[in-house]
Amino acid sequence: MTITVVMVVRLHNLFAVVMLGGIYSLLAATMFVLFDAVDVAFTEAAVGAGVSTVLLLGALALTSREEKDTGKLAVIPLIIVITVGIALIYGTLDMPLYGDPNAPIHVHVAPYYLERGMVETSVPNIVTAVLASYRGFDTLGEVCVVFTAGIGVLMLLSRERLTRRYRGVGGDKR
C-alpha cells in the first residue's frame, strides 16, 4: 500500500493515478478481510475501488490526462495536510491495542449486540442485524453519498454535452 501511495504522489498522468487509487482501495479491502472485517472490506471494494474509480474516470473524461505543472510549491495546503496528519496520529495514541479483549468495543457494545440482536431485530445473522438495523442510518448515509456523487457526475457529463451542442461540436444545435 505504501508503494502505491508513493507512486500516486510521483505520477503526473491522472489516468494512472486513478487506476492506482483503485488498486489502493482493493489492497485496503484485502487488509480488511485479513482483519476479519468482511463487511467493511465489501464496502471498501464496492465504493472505494468500484464507484469512486468510475466517478473519477468520468471526471477525467472531461479534463486532460496530464496534471498541470504550476511550477511553484503550495506551502499553505502542505501545512494544512501536515497539521491534519499530526492531529489524526494524535487521535490514535489512546486507542486500545488491536485484539485487546478489554477494549470498550468488546466489553460494552459487542455483548449487547450478541445478546439482544436476534430479539430486537429478528435477523438471525448478527452482522446483517448490525448493518441493517442498528446502523441503518449509517448505511442510508453511505447510499446517499454514492447517489449524490453519481448525480454530480451525470450533471457534469450533461453540461459537457450541452456545451458541445452550443458550440456546434459533435452534432446538431437542437
Q: The C-alpha cell of 132 is what?
A: 441493517
Decide: pTM greater than 0.75.
no
CA of residue 94 relative to chain centroid, distance? 25
Handedness of CA 126, 130, 133, 134 (dihedral sign): positive
Instruction: Show pLDDT as tens, one digit a residue, over the chain (174 residues).
Output: 999 999 988 888 889 999 999 999 999 999 999 988 887 888 888 888 888 888 888 888 877 777 777 777 788 988 999 999 999 999 999 888 888 888 887 888 888 888 888 888 888 888 888 877 877 788 788 778 878 877 877 777 776 666 666 665 555 544
Burial of 40 (0-12, 13-18, 19+ CB in 10 A): middle
Determine the 3-state secondary structure of 170 from DSSP. coil
Give pLDDT, residue 28.
Answer: 93
What is the DSSP code string of 99-118? T-TTSHIIIIIHHHHHHHHH
**80 exposed, middle or buried (CB, 10 Å; 0-12, 13-18, 19+)?**
exposed
pLDDT at 56: 85
